[in-house]
Amino acid sequence: MKKNLAQKTFPFITLVGFILIIVLSLFSLEKAINTSGSPPSDFSRLVPLAQKFINLLAENKWTEATALFDQVMLKALPAEKLARIWTQLTKQYGPFKGQGVTSTQVVGRYRLVYVECKFTKNSLSAKVVFDQQAKIAGLFFLPFTPPQPYAAPSYVKTSSFVEKEVSIGQSPWILPGVLTLPRSKGPKPAVVLVHGSGPNDRDETIGPNKPFKDLAWGLASRGLAVLRYDKRTKVYAQELAQKKILMTVEEEVIEDALQAINFLKKQPQIKTDCLFLLGHSLGGLLAPRIAQRATSLRGIIIMAGPTVSLEKVIVRQLKYLAWLDGHLSPEDKKKISEAEAAAREIEAALPKKDLNLSRRFFGASLKYWIDLKKYDPIQTAASLSCALLILQGGRDYQVTKEDFQGWQKGLQKKLRVTFKLYPYLNHLFFPGKGPSSPAEYEKNGHVALEVIEDITD
């Protein structure tokens, strides 16, 4: 029997006892993590909506709860069926006590909100999947796993550095962060870490993994100070939604990265003429644009930075996930066709005038896409006077060797640029074997030592 895309990308999901797991109208859903360069998601309204949905279940308001479903979900899970599922949950796990922590994830065209559901006997994680119209397109009840303590990779020497909490930016967008400082005497060279897409925390946490923490601690163990911070779309999700800001990458990424660089310039422990910027995925794409305005940078490190347009990156990623097991279902074909149509609309929008900039494609406004279409990362990188280090994982299916070759071809005449391809690393720069898949991101891993060494050389 052929699997649909959801099944292809959910190999590690297990059922909670006899509880029904609903995977309806889902497409490419598990840990495609959106550091691929996909646009920001509107979690400021989706998190409260998911919480509202759980409250409606707890209050036995089944009709109101199913009113939040898309048509496919509504047909497959009418109010009476949803009521039976919730009743089964409370029989097995006891009365509902309340909600706990929430977390979010972007996968392809979908937005996932995880809500901890506390029952008297145990807690479950409700995984609520939203489509682009903010309708619930899927529902899972999974075992709740409390956040696990971070286990540092072997190349980290925790005795060689200290960390202090800091704040960067200006009102109303002040962001919490952490500065990792080597214990060695004298001013240190420093690097700012710039995230991929989505409401990332300072560690770029994905599943049990914290690649930015690996980088910060690994680099600090070798004498570099590192500044990382929580992203604006994570810290101020609700405020951004209330203001109804049509964001571009300026608000999402660039303004705060520039503020982080300015923060380092004011720190007495930092060697201000030896500042670097490291961008991962979307952050890598935008690193040249940031460096163009932060002329004091000594160099930039681009990790898995796309050179193919982001709408094409998304379509390419969906196709890859669809073909993971060699089969393409009619539903898969439909979703790919829809994504290709959206990509064509974005491509055609740039030369036009009098556009509705609030129209949304892949979760972001048309204004966001037009801004990106006007930016040429390769041309911008070629114009920089600072050094460039461009890193790529050979097993990365989100930002691929095609993108890496784009950098190589476009910068072949540029001096002070170094290219590194790691055949066995994935999008997070974690080692692995065989074709990469979303399931990898749920396994514990660390940024490879050779990446740390190449950055510090």
Query: Largest Cα–Cα distance of the chain, in whole Å?
Result: 68
Phi, psi of 385 (to 5 degrees): -95, -15
Query: d(Cα 37, Cα 197) in Å, to the nearest integer?
Result: 6
Q: Which two tokens stand for residue 221?
A: 């163990």
Helix or strand holding residue 423 (H, E): none
The strand pair at 225-229 and 188-194 is best described as parallel
Query: d(Cα 47, Cα 111) in Å, to the nearest integer?
Result: 10
H helices present in 294-387, as ranges: 310-322, 330-349, 366-373, 377-382
DSSP codes of every residue in 167-200: EES-TT--EEEEEEEESSSS-EEEEEEE--SSS-
Give the type of residue at 349.
A
Measured N-to-C along each axis, helices 330-349 and 310-322 cross at an angle, to the nearest 10 degrees, of: 170
> What is the b/e burial string over 30-44, where b = at least 16 CB atoms within 10 angstroms of the residue's CB?
bbbbbbbbbbbbbbb
Give the catalytic positions in this structure.
Answer: 281, 396, 427
Phi, psi of 111 (to 5 degrees): -120, 125
Exposure of 229 by Cβ count < 10 A (0-12 exposed, 13-18 middle, 19+ buried)? buried
> What is the b/e burial string over 350-366, where b = at least 16 CB atoms within 10 angstroms of the residue's CB?
eeeeeeeeeebbbbbbb
